[in-house]
Amino acid sequence: DIQLTQSPSFLSASVGDRVSITCRASQGISTYVAWYQQKPGKAPEVLIYAASTLQSGVPSRFSGSGSGTEFTLTISSLQPEDSATYYCQQLKSYPPLTFGGGTKVEIK
């Protein structure tokens, strides 16, 4: 199975800050990565797929980059509504389609 390791597991930042979350894969997965945002009690929602393609309707402050084994989700200007947990998922090799451990983003 391909393992995904996210860092940090928690971050606290202020409104307007630029924040980045890293996802590292245990083996190369090209650009077969999606990023999801999950708020408490809700289902995840896709933000980015194919490592860097913004899902329709997602604010442009979200961006994704990377290939191979290292990927980054960046929020260019953090907003209050971005308080959530973020997960990466690899869709290169299955079963299983694995998720990262999550990064909880808190607004100071």
Stretch that binds other proteins, among 17-25, 30-38, 61-69, 70-78 (CB under 8 A): 30-38
At residue 17, what is the residue type? Answer: D
Strands (E), 55-100: 62-67, 70-75, 84-90
Q: Using CB under 8 A, which of the segments 17-25, 62-70, 73-81, 95-103 binds other proteins?
A: 95-103
Tell whether residue 57 is a contact of other proteins (CB under 8 A). Answer: no
Tell me how far, at minimum, the Cβ of 14 lies from other proteins, in Å. Answer: 26
Strand order in the sheet with 70-75: 4-7, 19-25, 70-75, 62-67
Q: Does 71 bind other proteins (CB under 8 A)?
A: no
Instruction: Give the number of residues in contact with other proteins, rule: CB under 8 A.
Output: 26
Among 20, 31, 72, 83, binds other proteins (CB under 8 A): 31
From the list 17-25, 59-67, 76-84, 93-101, the region that binds other proteins by CB under 8 A is: 93-101
Edge-to-edge strands of the sheet including 45-49?
Answer: 10-13, 103-107, 84-90, 33-38, 45-49, 53-54
Residue 77 Cβ vs other proteins, minimum distance, rounded to whole Å: 24
Instruction: Encode 59-72: b = buried (16+ Cβ within 10 Å), e = exposed.
Output: eeebbbebeeeebb
